[in-house]
Structure 1
Amino acid sequence: MHFRMDWRSITFDWNRARAFLVTAEEGSLSAAARALGMAQPTLGRQVSALEDELGVALFERTGRGLELTPTGIELVDHVRAMGAAATRISLAASGQSQEIAGRVCITASEIYSAYLLPAVVAELRQNAPGLEIEINATNAVTDLRRREADIAIRNTAPKDPALTAKRIAEDTGWFYASEAYLARRGTPQGLEDFAGHDFVAMDSAEQMIGALANFDIPLTREMLAIRADNHLVHWELARQGVAIGIGPDFLGRSTPGMVRLLPGHGPIRYPVWLVAHREVKSSRRIRLVWDRIERHLRARLRPKPEE
């Protein structure tokens, strides 16, 4: 059954319609309030007032947040079209470009956050100064369904059907050591030469031993006397010649004084995915940031291999 209404009988308030549209695109009142720069209670009153004005329920309040009703799903396309028309009228009258503004939170690993995302943010600040960019640098998996972030850069594909994902590149990594370390301890010529060298462990020594055993890399507990959970600290320990570390090749190639060991072996390969909640992905500012991240990562990392 399709949504039908006699629009002539309604005094339409565009502010309320915009509140509904942004809430539908953002998926929650809190995210929509941040996007519009208003208090959440004020936004909630505008959405409720539109429901009262139209005499329909636009959202269902669930434990996971807000979900559009069938009427809301049908109405949101009409309101989006109205918003686009209003924008075109405004642009034609003012001759100005449409501004993209609001908060966007990106979550990525510590290495990606420190060495890949700053260039993205620098470009966005020039082209879309109205954006507020937040970077959540963590190696843990952030819950996008709960809106802990808007966009995630991950090395595994998401299984949640509520998320949209795109495999955009392939990253590679291997063992690196500083020139100072190699001058002091010698350069390994084969995997068997790793014996007697010091390595920086990630997580626990046992986990790293087990993970690298899959690549026929023989490490022992005694070789992993140094441990750093933070990947930036891990890389800095290797860069300063304390021990051999593991790092992505894009970072190793660009770091003066770092040497990739055993060039005939490896590398360890892992995919790079961009992930967002399906509803959030429909936001113009999220799409803009997504596109900029994708372009920068494709330029810095290996192209995605053909399936």
Structure 2
Amino acid sequence: MNSNMLFDWHYAYCFLIVAETGSLSSAAKRIGISQPTLGRNISNLEEQLSMTLFHRSTQGLSLTQSGRQLLIHVKEMHESANKASLLAAGTSKDFHGRVCISATEWFATTYLPKFIKKMRGLYSNLCIEVVSTNELTDLRKQDADIAIRNGRPTEPDLIARKVGIEYYGFYASQDYLESIEFSDESVNWKSIDFIGFHKFEQLASFLSSESTMFNNVNISAMANNTLANCALIKQGIGVGIVSNSHAKNHPDLIKILDKHPLPKSEIWLVSHQALQTSVKFKAIYDHLAQFLIENMHNN
């Protein structure tokens, strides 16, 4: 490597994302630049460092030995940059700007609009951004400032507060139950079609682990979020798993199979510990925690 060459961090960041995604097209979408521009950035970095970082073939890109070695150091640089950014955000006492909250579609549509309206009355210059996703956001990489999660986090540099418990049940439409002549007293398991809340294997494995009666269940449809799941149930496609608090907003969903209770889910409010030194972030975190505790229907 030529030590007189300037090391462009933006090029290094592009290299990191390409290495993580394995393709220029995926990396370009993630960074938000065109694929040709990304390709030039990688070429410029290789020229700066006087080394080849990727093997290029019809199958895609793969790291060279030099690329693998560089990736270790670039990851360390990226982590250090994230920590510095978190520290800077955490020491700010300005109530202007943005706070990003990540939550599932259910929490994003049911609780956060009411919460944001309340915050607007307190902090009119603050913008609250909602990231609605069922994926786990990486708070250490600042994908969000605060997250509502189903389950306690395990990362050591995150803080968390338990704000509630969600209980779940089996639900179906009246039309579907009549079509299969359903009876809670004498259940014909082979006649029931289930709606998967994730992948088929996950639902089938989960139901089988609960009881041998659920072995070889029929999966009629699948959805990756609560709103779509409820829509499928209402159309009479099958029996689905829904949180009891969500089902309360849908009186046409009928709860069944009460003799087979489902596991509960603890709801945790999570943030990076560095942000807790900020009056702004801590205020929103504390307000949201209290709001969820007061408004969640824990039954």
- What is the TM-score with the length of structure 2 in the denominator? 0.65
| 2:194 corresponds to 1:199 | yes
CA–CA separation in structure 1 for the residues paired with 2:252 and 2:225: 21
Q: Secondary structure at the match of 1:139?
A: coil
Match for 2:274 among 264, 270, 279?
279
Aligned CA RMSD, in angstroms, stands at 2.8
Which residue number corresponds to residue 174 of structure 1?
169
Task: Give the Cα separation in 1 of the matches to 2:128 and 2:190.
Answer: 45
Aligned CA distance change for structure 1 residues 250 and 152 (closer, same or farther; 3 Å): same
Distance 1:187 1:282, change over 3 A: farther
- The structure-2 alpha-carbon separation of the partners of 1:64 and 1:129, relative to structure 1 and needing over 3 Å to count, comes to same
8 A Cα contact 2:180 2:191, kept in partner:
no
Give 1:63's match in structure 2, choosing from 75, 78, 88.
Answer: 78
- Alignment-derived partner of residue 243 in structure 1: 238
CA distance in 1, matches of 2:105, 2:276: 23
Contact 2:208 2:215 in 1 (8 A): no
CA positional deviation for 1:132: 1.0
Unaligned runs of 5+ in 2: 1-75
1:84-163 alignment runs, 5 A limit: 100-163=95-158
Q: Tell me the distance in 1 between the aligned counterparts of 2:182 and 2:97.
A: 51
Q: Say if 1:200 and 1:243, in contact at 8 Å, map to a contact too.
A: yes
**Identity, % of aligned pairs?**
27
Please list the CA deviations of residues 152-211 of structure 1 after superposition, one character each: whole Å capped at 9, or x if unmatched.
Answer: 111222222111111221111111112332233333405843331121112222221111
Please say if residues 191 and 218 of structure 1, whose CA atoms lie closer than 8 Å, have aligned partners that are also in contact: no
Contact 1:142-1:149 at 8 Å conserved across structures: yes
Deviations 1:277-303 (A, max 9, x none): 001122222223222322232234356
Superposed displacement of residue 231, structure 1: 2.9
1:34-63 per-residue CA deviation (whole Å, 9 max, x = no partner) reads xxxxxxxxxxxxxxxxxxxxxxxxxxx953
- The count of residues paired between Structure 1 and Structure 2 equals 219
Contact residue 169 and residue 258 of structure 2 kept, 8 A? no
Number of the residue aligned with 1:289: 284
Q: Is the contact made by 2:149 and 2:268 (CA closer than 8 Å) also made in structure 1?
A: yes
Determine which of 255, 262, 265 is the counterpart of 1:260: 255
Partners of 1:202 and 1:191 in 2: how far apart? 25
Q: 1:134 to 1:196 in 2, by over 3 A?
A: same
1:222 is displaced (CA, Å) by 5.8
* Structure 2 counterpart SS, 1:145: helix
